[in-house]
């Protein structure tokens, strides 16, 4: 089981959009997914059309020991995908946890207690946009972190602080995390966006994901409807990009990850096999450098039309069912 936190303390970088759509496409590739909405704003919960009135118990009840994680999970909100929902009450949980022993490991302990049928290939955690106790809980429960980075100077400045936090976990808690940078909201027409993209790849090098998420209005429209992009418009650039991201994540080597009673300890896999991710033909055409190749990949396909009228209908078994929220 791989546990991946999606985090960035800066808003507007596509963090929740990534959590929702990466989860949906991982499920479409046949993986069993749990999406944990750790952001009190509850946008990942709303992203699967789960209304607040449908939530009898949420993550606040789990952290305050009024319910187990199993109790609150909404089953099959999308084929192969469950959601642990939240409400705004979660914003008060940090005060509750302030006097709790090992307060930063509470989420990890709840995940450890999950039993069949609550067994997953991936757990995706949508973190709040600040570095607080909820984020530390997410990081201590995870083996990997995806950091969505939108092309702006402020976004790049905030990354250093985030990386310092992750280094503190490594030094003080002996907790090792694989960090992956994901460029998002990318506008290939902008020279500034291209410059920032180059900075991202220069900074993260091999830790930068190959996939680049292009700026796409369909992603915003899908979020407003409470649907993943795979349902709203699977012919859009947004659907193409998140499908590629899910494939890239699946085909990565899984980090070795061990939880011990004395504290988290992870062993990095030094003998990783070469990834089987197949780059697009556009990337294979030249040897002018990694960023230049990516720039070719993210150009819109010639003749591609993003009009809503071209949305492809999903097979009946994969259609999103907003009524399938209640746990059987």
Q: Which of 127, 104, 98, 118 is nearest to 19 (CA)?
A: 127
Q: How far separated are the first and last CA of the chain, in Å rounded? A: 24
Percentage of the chain with pLDDT > 90? Answer: 52
Highest mean pLDDT: which range of 30-39, 177-186, 281-290: 30-39
Residue-wise pLDDT tens digits, 208-237: 999 999 999 999 999 999 999 999 999 999
Kindly state the tokens that stand for 289.
């450098």
Structural domains present in the chain: 2-303 (3.40.50.300)
Residue 254 has a pLDDT of: 67
Residue-wise pLDDT tens digits, 5-64: 999 887 778 899 999 999 999 999 999 999 999 999 999 999 999 988 899 999 999 999
Kindly state the tokens that stand for 202.
């220069």
Mean pLDDT of the chain: 79
Helix (H) or strand (E) holding 20: helix 15-28
Residue 290 CA to residue 287 CA, distance in Å, equals: 8
Residue 98 has a pLDDT of: 82
Which sign does the torsion angle of CA 253, 259, 263, 265 carry? negative
Kindly state the tokens that stand for 4.
């991946």
Residue 317 CA to residue 38 CA, distance in Å, equals: 29
Residue 265 has a pLDDT of: 36
Helix (H) or strand (E) holding 59: helix 59-63
SS3 321: coil
| Per-residue pLDDT at 306 exceeds 70 | no
Interhelix angle for 15-28 vs 237-250, to 10°? 70
**Cβ contact 233:218 at 8 Å:** yes
Residue-wise pLDDT tens digits, 248-284: 999 987 665 444 433 433 333 433 333 333 333 333 3
Kindly state the tokens that stand for 94.
């940090």
SS3 84: strand
* Cβ count within 10 A of residue 126: 28
SS3 296: helix
Alpha helix ranges (H) inside 205-305 = 217-225, 229-232, 237-250, 281-284, 290-297
With cut-offs at 50, 70 and 90, classify the pLDDT of residue 99: confident
| Per-residue pLDDT at 82 exceeds 50 | yes
Name the more confident of 106 and 285: 106
């Amino acid at each position: 089981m791989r546990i991946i936190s999606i985090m960035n303390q800066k808003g507007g970088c596509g963090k929740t959009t990534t959590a929702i759509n990466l989860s949906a496409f991982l499920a479409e590739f046949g993986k069993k997914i749990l999406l944990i909405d750790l952001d009190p704003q509850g946008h990942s919960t709303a992203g699967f059309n789960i209304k607040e009135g449908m939530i009898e118990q949420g993550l606040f009840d789990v952290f305050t020991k009024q319910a187990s994680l199993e109790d609150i999970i909404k089953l099959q909100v999308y084929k192969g995908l469950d959601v642990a929902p939240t409400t705004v009450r979660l914003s008060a949980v940090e005060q509750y946890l302030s006097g709790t022993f090992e307060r930063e490991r509470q989420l990890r302990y709840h995940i450890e207690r999950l039993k069949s049928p609550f067994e997953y290939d991936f757990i995706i955690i949508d973190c709040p946009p600040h570095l607080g106790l909820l984020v530390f809980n997410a990081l201590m429960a995870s083996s990997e972190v995806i950091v969505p980075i939108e092309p702006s100077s402020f976004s790049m400045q905030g990354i250093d602080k985030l990386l310092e936090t992750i280094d503190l976990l490594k030094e003080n808690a002996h907790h090792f995390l694989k960090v992956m940078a994901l460029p998002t909201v990318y506008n290939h027409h902008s020279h500034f966006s291209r410059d920032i993209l180059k900075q991202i790849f220069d900074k993260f090098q091999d830790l930068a994901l190959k996939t680049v998420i292009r700026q796409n209005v369909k992603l915003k429209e899908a979020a407003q409807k409470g649907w993943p992009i795979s349902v709203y418009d699977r012919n859009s650039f947004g659907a193409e990009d998140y499908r590629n991201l899910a494939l890239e994540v699946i085909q990565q080597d899984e980090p070795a990850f061990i939880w011990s009673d004395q504290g988290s300890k992870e062993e990095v896999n030094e003998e990783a096999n070469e990834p089987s991710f197949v780059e697009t033909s556009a990337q294979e055409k030249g040897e002018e450098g990694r960023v230049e190749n990516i720039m070719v990949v993210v150009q819109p396909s010639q003749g591609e039309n993003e009009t809503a009228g071209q949305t492809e209908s999903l097979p009946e078994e994969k259609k999103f069912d907003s009524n399938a929220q209640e746990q059987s």
